[in-house]
Structure 1
């Protein structure tokens, strides 16, 4: 029997329609329901459509009692829910689309599915059932997901870059909110019960934290009705407040000189990984686009690329560091923008014996951004940012991801023309101003590798950055 014919009966029909406020902007139409949910559609005339559910849930939402719940929630999407069991879910998936993609950020997650346009309603129902009606009553399914996560824990030791960035967030924000360690331990997963998961989903997966986006939709009003019939929430439950995150800065290191097994065939192994960051504008700050231009301007790269040379070779960090310092393995500018915090800094890796040289390079590079650029560099970075934006939006899933995350974070529709205008409005003076303002804050330094010989005083490191910004030798 074709299961797709039965999917439409998983949810009761004839439900009351909630009050709606609808905004049309360019090709995109957004409806705001009175329960806080946002629904966006647009018709891109492509043969394949896509559906995405974007939820403000992640490790930031966890507490000491719910460590690991967001990871279990992501994995549980393929298990049984209150509407359909796992076997039928897999069968339906084979009819309606090729896969479900899950992407988890520290404070939000996306669940997307690509399918033919005529299967969009069914795909929406499947995602709604999996995300809002998970059933943790079957202990075998819950144990399977937990064991899968536990088996993946040893693999994290093979990714020192990820370990370094976890240290960075812990040092920058403490051990709560954005500073929570995404690298949970086996004991954390083992102690999560079915009731803990049910309570976590009920308090965190709420309509005011959800945005639903679908492409290839010509009848927006009809799709809004479909979404309302699919997504059901307990009327008496309120969303748990998002834990606030305050930037504190500081230094966190982990001495380790044992070379891990590498995922990459040609990866260097005897390396120290280091991140030097400063507080930056939040995702809603008007200067966030300036930070994006700075990131493109500094860029970076690796001393060896398995795909051949050419990646980032014209950026400042590649030309001034990678091509000049033979011992440097990799260096790049990295940014992170959250709802109430942001980070901008430089990450690098080098042989253990060059750890002090690596810190010196990071200190100089982040302290002298405004001294080493011209309007030509800023224009080049803006063009790179524009090309990246258009390249991402050239694919169905890329366009959907960007639209969904933007709607979830900013609660409004933004057109390409508006984004282009924001990028083009960034000036040389803006880049100099923001890069100078950022280094006035307290730095955060994270090191995974050889920590011998490095200063343990974050204040001294900041003084070195300030000296570099004033043109003095570091």
Structure 2
């Protein structure tokens, strides 16, 4: 009965108002017969939102009287990401035991003057649906939280406590030492050698100075680092003039008010009144080689064995991110591209980059060929990581040195435009993420006091010419190579041979070496 009533009402509606638009223009009474390129008759036109100006949400920066910089960018959404970035990292440990930054990363968000344990901090953050994280690199320490924007006051209060009032109890120090030992063991056991090779290539390129100092705590220093040493380091480097409070997804005035409330005039727990001693050393590129002979035959991922591989990384000095040549180097790195021989995907993943076309596609025995670009405020390093069977290490090295020398040769218009488009695409896609925007704002303001907006960077990328690529590559090839080698290295050429190959026109190892080894 109910079904009959519904049908009767529908029939009355059709007689009174006619068939719906999509039914009146359908064939067979089921699907519309209107092409997708034409608007449906009777359907109102959509009204799209409009953005006023090129950048609706600009990045605002304010300097407080104690030297702290507050930077923010509003963004539509319920949640915000807020954090403190500090000009402090493993490169600043010259006068200290290496490993302090590693300890500070592991000790983050533990007990403070106000909160008795990490659980109390997490419960407070949980009320606002928040998460927290701390990451240290060679030049930056970053404490960050993502939470509901309504809880901004609590978030900044927590940041102030975590950064300025940590307790570093004996129990926490003991737990941290255990965590670091486990991480160091894992670093040498994991199938992916990239983190270890990155450490080695920096140690080779900047021997015993600044960014060449170890990012991970050496085993012999684990028991030597204590609370007093950490406080001494923080007294020098955790100062307001070396900090940026960055936020995304909140009003600038709100963040500024919270910064004045919780970060202005606050006395840190470590403040001793002693004179500060800050290391202002400029990175000195040295070049050189770091080798680690290691049996890679036992490395496996679950029940599936991984082939025994030898890993080589060769790098040359590039430039800092403050120089104009940084953009051409970024385009060059994208043009080289590369990846693993089993990478899935298509052109969007870089299958038309040089290391795919010239290396992985032509040499089936190469398991990996990837380009990396590390850039800092005073130097940079462009390197290529390659992996192959130990018996083919010599040939693999020659292939990589040849690719380096070809960088200074001719650059095709199509490959250059593809690299620039891919770089811009990657930049814009990454900046769709709120945490990435936060880190971008914080790092740029920490280094330069301002932020270049995405459209400005895209304009600079578009201006890069083939002559710029050739110029920066030619300049780079004048530097001594940095070499990191891991695994069975019985077929590895001598450092002098690698340097000679990079200095030659074709990138080949010296003939005498190749014939009579």
After TM superposition, the score normalised by the length of structure 2 is 0.81
In 2: Cα distance, 1:267 partner to 1:412 partner: 49
Equivalent residue for 1:120, pick from 138, 152, 160: 152
Pick which of 44-53 and 267-276 moved more. Answer: 267-276
Which residue in 2 is equivalent to 1:11? none
User: Does 2:95 correspond to 1:77?
Assistant: no
User: Does 2:207 correspond to 1:174?
Assistant: yes
Equivalent residue for 1:93, pick from 111, 118, 125: 125
In 2 relative to 1, CA 95–367 (structure 1 residues): closer, same or farther, beyond 3 Å?
same
Equivalent residue for 1:303, pick from 341, 344, 348: 341
CA apart distance, 1:25: 10
Question: What does 1:321-336 correspond to in 2, within 5 Å?
Answer: 321-336=359-374
In 1: Cα distance, 2:397 partner to 2:155 partner: 49
In 2: Cα distance, 1:265 partner to 1:175 partner: 40
CA apart distance, 1:339: 1.1
Question: Secondary structure in 2 aligned to 1:78?
Answer: coil
CA apart distance, 1:190: 1.2
User: Does 2:303 correspond to 1:270?
Assistant: no
In 2: Cα distance, 1:272 partner to 1:155 partner: 19
Per-residue Cα deviation, 1:298-347 (whole angstroms, up to 9, x for no partner): 10011123x56663212111111111101100001111101111111211
In 2: Cα distance, 1:106 partner to 1:207 partner: 19
Pick which of 391-400 and 237-246 moved more. Answer: 237-246
In 2 relative to 1, CA 266–293 (structure 1 residues): closer, same or farther, beyond 3 Å?
farther
Per-residue Cα deviation, 1:205-243 (whole angstroms, up to 9, x for no partner): 11121111112222x234213112222354946462244
Which residue in 2 is equivalent to 1:465? 502
In 1: Cα distance, 2:509 partner to 2:385 partner: 23
Moved over 6 A (4+): 264-267, 470-474
CA apart distance, 1:126: 0.8
Per-residue Cα deviation, 1:21-65 (whole angstroms, up to 9, x for no partner): xxx996111002233221111211222111121111221122464
Equivalent residue for 1:156, pick from 183, 187, 190: 187
Which residue in 2 is equivalent to 1:217? 250
In 2: Cα distance, 1:445 partner to 1:315 partner: 23
Question: Secondary structure in 2 aligned to 1:126?
Answer: helix
**8 Å CA contact 2:84, 2:142 repeated in 1:** yes
Question: Secondary structure in 1 aligned to 2:91?
Answer: helix
In 1: Cα distance, 2:182 partner to 2:474 partner: 45
Per-residue Cα deviation, 1:62-115 (whole angstroms, up to 9, x for no partner): 246432211111111121112322132121121134321223221112222111
In 2 relative to 1, CA 472–195 (structure 1 residues): closer, same or farther, beyond 3 Å?
closer
After TM superposition, the score normalised by the length of structure 1 is 0.88
In 2 relative to 1, CA 102–260 (structure 1 residues): closer, same or farther, beyond 3 Å?
farther
Pick which of 168-177 and 461-470 moved more. Answer: 461-470
In 2: Cα distance, 1:281 partner to 1:103 partner: 24
Question: Secondary structure in 1 aligned to 2:505?
Answer: helix
**8 Å CA contact 2:87, 2:139 repeated in 1:** yes
In 2: Cα distance, 1:409 partner to 1:267 partner: 44
Per-residue Cα deviation, 1:388-417 (whole angstroms, up to 9, x for no partner): 111111111111111111111222122222
**8 Å CA contact 2:98, 2:214 repeated in 1:** no
In 1: Cα distance, 2:73 partner to 2:231 partner: 34
When Rg is computed on C-alpha atoms for both structures, the one with the higher figure is 2
User: Does 2:393 correspond to 1:393?
Assistant: no
Question: Secondary structure in 1 aligned to 2:479?
Answer: coil
In 2: Cα distance, 1:167 partner to 1:260 partner: 21
**8 Å CA contact 1:178, 1:245 repeated in 2:** yes
Question: Secondary structure in 1 aligned to 2:279?
Answer: coil
Kindly tell me the number of residue pairs found equivalent between the two proteins. 447
Question: Secondary structure in 1 aligned to 2:289?
Answer: strand
Equivalent residue for 2:451, pick from 395, 402, 413: 413
Give the aligned CA root-mean-square deviation in angstroms. Answer: 2.4
User: Does 2:61 correspond to 1:58?
Assistant: no
CA apart distance, 1:257: 3.0
Per-residue Cα deviation, 1:245-304 (whole angstroms, up to 9, x for no partner): 200111221222333534588683411111111111111111001100001101001112
**8 Å CA contact 2:235, 2:272 repeated in 1:** no
In 2: Cα distance, 1:472 partner to 1:168 partner: 21
User: Does 2:227 correspond to 1:189?
Assistant: no
In 2: Cα distance, 1:83 partner to 1:370 partner: 58
Question: Secondary structure in 2 aligned to 1:96?
Answer: coil
In 1: Cα distance, 2:286 partner to 2:423 partner: 30
**8 Å CA contact 1:26, 1:415 repeated in 2:** no
In 2: Cα distance, 1:196 partner to 1:381 partner: 46
In 1: Cα distance, 2:441 partner to 2:433 partner: 12
